[in-house]
Chains A and B, each alone.
Chain A
Amino acid sequence: MLDRFLSRLPISRPAHHAKQPRFLAFLDYAYMPYALGDSITWVANAQVYARDAGSSEIDIVVLVSRERPAPSWQPFVTAYNSIGALHGLMPAFLSSPMTCNVHLLENRQTFYDMVTDHHQRGGGLWPPIAALTEERIDFISHMHVVDHYRRRGSIPLLAAPRGYAQQAEAFVARFCPDKFRVVVNVRQSHLRAARSQPERDSRFHTWAEFIRRTADKHPDVVFIVIGQYSDVDRRFNQLPATLVPRSLGLGLGAELALLQGADLFMGTSSGFAQAALFGQPAYIVTNTEARAAPYCGVPVGSRHHPFGRPDQIVTWTLETPDSLEQDFQDVLRIKATQGDRVPMDHGHNVQ
Chain B
Amino acid sequence: MMRARILKAVSGLIPERILRRPSVQIVRSRLAVAQRLRRSDVGAGVPVVCEFRLDDSAAWRAQFAAALWSLSRAASASHDRMAWMLCIGLPPESPEDLYALAVQADPVVQLHILTDQAEAQDFTDRYVPPASLQEARARRWPDIVEALSQAGTLPNAFTRATSTRAAAHTFVKQIGGESPVVVVHIDEAPAVIAALRAEPGSVQGLKILVVGDILGASDQIWSNADVLLVRRMGYTLLEELALVQACDGYVGYADHYAILAADAGIPCLLSNLPASFATTSGGVSPAVDILGDFPRWLSRHVNNVQARQ
A interface residues, Cβ below 8 angstroms from B: 1-2, 5-6, 8-14, 16-17, 66, 78, 80-81, 83-84, 86-87, 90-91, 94, 100-114, 116-117, 132-135, 162-164, 166-167, 170-171, 174, 228-230, 246-251, 253
Contacts and interface: CB of A to CB of B under 8 A. Distances in A.
Contact of A84 (B112, B127, B162, B233): B162
B162 A113 contact: no
The B interface is mostly helix, strand or loop, or mixed, namely helix
B74 interface: no
B22 A135 contact: yes
A101 B113 CA distance: 6
B227 interface: no
Contacts of B32: 109
Given A102-B112, A104-B111, A117-B127, 9 more contacts: A11-B31, A81-B164, A83-B164, A84-B162, A103-B111, A109-B32, A112-B25, A162-B95, A253-B96
Interface residues of B, number: 57
Contacts of A230: 234
Contacts of B290: none
A6 B26 CA distance: 9
A34 to B, nearest CB: 13
Contact of B238 (A9, A84, A109, A249): A84
Contacts of A90: 95-96, 99
A58 to B, nearest CB: 12
B110 A163 contact: no
A17 B126 contact: yes
Contact of B229 (A10, A80, A91, A249): A249
Contacts of A66: 108
Interface in B111-155: 111-115, 119, 122-123, 125-127
Interface in B87-120: 90-96, 99-100, 102-103, 108, 110-115, 119
A81 to B, nearest CB: 4
Nearest to B34: A11
B216 A170 contact: yes
Interface string B9-22: 00000000000011
Nearest to B82: A107
Contacts of B163: 78, 80-81, 83-84
Interface of B: 1, 3-4, 21-23, 25-34, 37, 82, 90-96, 99-100, 102-103, 108, 110-115, 119, 122-123, 125-127, 161-164, 213-216, 229, 231-234, 236, 238
A87 to B, nearest CB: 5
A249 B213 contact: yes
15 contacts: A12-B34, A16-B125, A80-B163, A81-B164, A83-B162, A91-B96, A101-B113, A101-B119, A104-B99, A108-B29, A110-B110, A116-B30, A163-B94, A229-B233, A249-B215
Contact of A249 (B92, B112, B231): B231
A247 B222 CA distance: 11
Nearest to B1: A10
A5 B27 CA distance: 8
A273 to B, nearest CB: 21
B33 A109 contact: yes
Contacts of A87: 96, 99-100, 103, 236, 238
Contacts of A91: 95-96
Nearest to A121: B126
B52 to A, nearest CB: 14
Q: Lowest 10 A-B CB distances belong to which pairs?
A: A229-B234, A249-B231, A81-B163, A112-B29, A11-B34, A249-B214, A113-B33, A109-B29, A90-B96, A102-B113
B232 A248 contact: yes
Contacts of B126: 13, 17, 117
